């Protein structure tokens, strides 16, 4: 009787590859798949049904890929995901992609080799073929794809809110710090702020940045005041950059919010502990995470899922780096 080893030998692949083809689990490129299927036909091999049924037993493992958990926004996402997965009996394998396509692909392969039954990914490469070839449900989170299951916050509305609240509190010499060009949520919020200021007939300056991280935040803040020292309102790309702007404003002897108002984006936990505490646009990160987990489990356990594109609302969190509207009316 022909065995799986005979098929592997005929096809010139490993037994594990033949097994993945037979059990339709895991990543096998199309050419290899065709060779294995030809070898099965040629050898007239029929898999052992007991072994097959055992192998097909569904794991309860989920793959989670995030860009960088040193940015406090992402652990908030992860917490929402993990809480919901735990409640439903699933466990998580996690990886930082560092926004590196090769590292992301390596993790996707690791997920497949560990028989995950679904993946949640916040990625700059949602259209990568690797996600399609996994043949398992994928939900994109925060950084998403227009035509795949996705959960994200309304970044454009967030940018509009920041601009409107900044102007309503009396700023007129406004600078927008634009987040990295390769990050879609960053561009959505920049477009929202820019279009709202244009609608109000208010010109603005722009500082373009290439990262959201702590390591470069200081340089964006330095560049901002070197180029636009008299700015009286800063719409930052995220809370980390906003905290660097606050520090640089104080170093230059400016008072916040009297001389310059600052609005961040994300509402990471530290923002409420800064001094003065940061006014910001809140992305409901934990709710985003749990919504992504809920959607993925629906995709794994049900055939039909109605809403596969989920957008959550953002909100303005007023703290101490913006003047109250009352103060502005007194200023006339």
For residues 166 and 291, what is the distance between their CA atoms, to the nearest angstrom? 31
Check the CA dihedral 115-117-122-124 and report its sign: positive
For residues 208 and 241, what is the distance between their CA atoms, to the nearest angstrom? 12
| Closest residue to ligand RIB, based on beta-carbon distance | 238
Which residue, 185 or 192, has its beta carbon nearer to ligand RIB?
185
Label residues 69-101 b or e (16+ Cβ within 10 Å = b): eebbbbbbbbebbbebbeeeebebeebbbebee
> At closest approach, how far in Å is the CB of 330 from ligand RIB?
34
Which among 151, 221, 163 is positioned nearest to 190, based on CA atoms?
Answer: 163
Q: Are strands 204-208 and 233-235 parallel, antiparallel or unpaired?
A: unpaired
Which among 117, 120, 128 is positioned nearest to 77, based on CA atoms?
Answer: 120
Query: Which residues make up the interface to ligand RIB (CB under 6 A)?
Result: 71, 73, 142-143, 183, 185, 212, 238, 265-266
Which residue, 90 or 152, has its beta carbon nearer to ligand RIB?
152
Which residue, 32 or 122, has its beta carbon nearer to ligand RIB?
122
Q: Are strands 233-235 and 279-282 parallel, antiparallel or unpaired?
A: unpaired
> At closest approach, how far in Å is the CB of 86 from ligand RIB?
24
> At closest approach, how far in Å is the CB of 111 from ligand RIB?
21
Which residue, 29 or 219, has its beta carbon nearer to ligand RIB?
219
Which residue, 180 or 233, has its beta carbon nearer to ligand RIB?
180
> At closest approach, how far in Å is the CB of 40 from ligand RIB?
44
> At closest approach, how far in Å is the CB of 4 from ligand RIB?
44
């Amino acid at each position: 009787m022909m065995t799986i080893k005979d098929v592997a030998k005929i096809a010139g692949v490993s037994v594990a590859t033949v097994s993945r083809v037979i059990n339709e689990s895991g990543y096998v490129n199309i050419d290899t798949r065709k060779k294995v299927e030809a070898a099965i036909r040629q050898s007239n091999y029929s898999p052992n049904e007991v072994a097959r049924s055992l192998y097909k037993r569904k794991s309860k493992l989920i793959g989670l890929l995030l860009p960088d958990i040193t940015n406090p926004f992402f652990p908030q996402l992860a917490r929402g995901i993990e809480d919901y997965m735990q409640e439903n009996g699933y466990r998580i394998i996690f990886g930082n992609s560092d926004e590196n396509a090769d590292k992301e692909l390596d993790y996707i392969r690791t997920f497949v080799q560990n028989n995950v039954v679904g993946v949640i990914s916040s990625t700059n490469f949602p259209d990568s073929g690797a996600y399609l070839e996994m043949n398992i449900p994928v939900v994109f989170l925060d950084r998403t794809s227009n035509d795949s299951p996705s959960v994200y916050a309304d970044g454009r509305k967030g940018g509009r809110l920041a601009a409107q609240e900044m102007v309503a509190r009396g700023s007129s010499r406004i600078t927008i710090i634009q987040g990295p060009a390769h990050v879609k949520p960053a561009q959505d919020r920049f477009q929202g702020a820019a279009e709202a200021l244009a609608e109000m007939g208010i010109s603005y300056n722009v500082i373009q940045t290439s990262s959201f991280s702590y390591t470069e935040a200081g340089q964006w803040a330095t560049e901002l005041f070197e180029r636009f020292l008299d700015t009286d309102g800063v719409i930052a790309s995220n809370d980390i950059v906003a905290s660097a702007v606050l520090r640089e404003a104080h170093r230059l002897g400016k008072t916040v919010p009297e001389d310059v108002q600052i609005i961040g984006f994300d509402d990471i936990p530290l923002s409420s502990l800064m001094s003065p505490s940061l006014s910001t646009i809140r992305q409901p990160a934990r709710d985003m995470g749990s919504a992504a987990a809920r959607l993925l489990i629906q995709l794994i356990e049900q055939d039909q899922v109605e809403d596969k594109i989920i957008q959550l609302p953002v909100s303005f969190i007023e703290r101490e780096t913006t003047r109250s509207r009352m103060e502005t009316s007194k200023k006339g």
